[in-house]
Amino acid sequence: MASPLVLVDRRGPVAVVTLNRPEKHNAMSLALKDALVRAVRDLDADPAVRVLVITGAGDRAFVAGADIAEFRGRTLVEQQRMYREGTVYDAMDRVAKPVIARIDGYCFGGGLELAMACDLRVASERSTFSQAEINLGIIPGGGGSQRLPRLVGLGTALKLTLTGERIGADEALRIGLVDEVVAHPLLDRRVGEIAGKIASKSAVAVRLAKAAVKASARLPIEQGLRYEQTLFTLAITSEDKEEGVRAFLEKRDPRWTDK
Ligand code: COA
């Protein structure tokens, strides 16, 4: 039997989702994308899971892009149907729980777009990044033209998108494409620390905080500020707020009920 294209490993409240096609540097075939969408949807709906980590199998690649072989012969009708049915990047964007991209190795094209559709990007120092589509005579189609400039600014996004140039982890950190870079042997520990810290908070507050901050990328500031007030009103009236305040005043750790 072929090994599953996507593996899910639950480590307490943290679910690690591994794209498992190492012989192709985890290039995302349509079947792999479907499996990833299903896994992520299930985990988002599972109350036992508080944080998702997305990573790639093997020690060479996070994801070396969408499966280039499947681009051959793609018709107008097929591409329009794919977008109508929704993409893996749309599915990632809809996840309410925090998602951390654990990047170790090649993070190219659709792989970079997948990482950018996550909330945080933590990379090993040996990782490399490229918005590589231009080299194939296409353009980013998984959100890259919109998410890259929001992360790194217009000029740098244009440079990366138009040249397809490869950059290293330190450069990716400098321009804001990734949030942290650590030595390879420390990657799992650091991702675990961040995931564990988030998982220890109230799930209600985490969900609202993520929604509020993400809204800043799509709303004008006035609407964004009103939206924050709406979400803050939900947070300040939650049971976990009562518990958080009580725990602070009683000088003890809070016991969240996620309500
Ligand atoms: N789609 C489909 N197959 C891919 C792939 C992709 N995005 N990236 C790698 N592969 C396949 C290779 O074709 C090769 O398959 P084979 O063993 O059947 O020939 C296998 O993965 C290993 O890749 P290979 O190129 O031999 O490894 P390498 O270490 O020499 O180079 C890369 C690694 C990532 C630099 C190189 O594979 C590459 O440039 N990939 C394409 C990256 C890209 O342009 N991505 C953007 C797509 S939009």
| Three-state DSSP state, 37 | helix
What residue's CA is closest to ligand 1, atom 40? 64
CATH of domain 6-199: 3.90.226.10
Q: Is 1 in the pocket of ligand 1 (CB under 6 A)?
A: no
Atom of ligand 1 minimally distant from the CA of 61: 34
Q: What DSSP assignment string belongs to 104-173?
A: -SEEETHHHHHHHTSSEEEEETT-EEE-GGGGGT----SSHHHHHHHHH-HHHHHHHHHH---EEHHHHH
The pLDDT of 21-33, averaged and rounded, is 98
Q: Is 166 in the pocket of ligand 1 (CB under 6 A)?
A: no
Residue range 72-111, pLDDT digits in tens: 999 999 999 999 999 999 999 999 999 999 999 999 999 9
Tell me the pLDDT band of 18, cut-offs 50, 70 and 90. Answer: very high
* Neighbour order of strands in the sheet with 14-19: 6-11, 14-19, 51-56, 99-103, 120-124, 180-182
DSSP lists the bridge partners of residue 130 as 108
Whether residue 3 has pLDDT greater than 90: no
6 CA to middle of ligand 1, Å?
19
Pocket test residue of 5, 25, 29, 148 for ligand 1, highest count of atoms within 8 A of CB: 25
Residue range 101-119, pLDDT digits in tens: 999 999 999 999 999 999 9
* Annotated domain spans of the chain: 6-199, 203-249
184 CA to middle of ligand 1, Å?
22
Percent of all residues in the chain with a pLDDT value above 70, rounded to a whole number: 99
Task: Identify which of 93, 129, 97, 133 has the alpha carbon closest to the alpha carbon of residue 218.
Answer: 93
Q: Is 142 in the pocket of ligand 1 (CB under 6 A)?
A: no
Q: Is 113 in the pocket of ligand 1 (CB under 6 A)?
A: no
Tell me the pLDDT band of 40, cut-offs 50, 70 and 90. Answer: very high
- How do strand 14-19 and strand 6-11 relate by DSSP bridges? antiparallel
- Cβ neighbours of residue 107 under 8 Å, at least 6 residues apart? 61, 62, 63, 115, 123, 127, 128, 129, 130
- Tokens of residue 175, six digits: 């321009």
Cα-Cα-Cα-Cα torsion 119, 78, 162, 18, nearest 10 degrees, comes to 30
CATH of domain 203-249: 1.10.12
- What residues are labeled active site? 113, 133
Whether residue 190 has pLDDT greater than 80: yes
* pLDDT at residue 1 in the model: 46
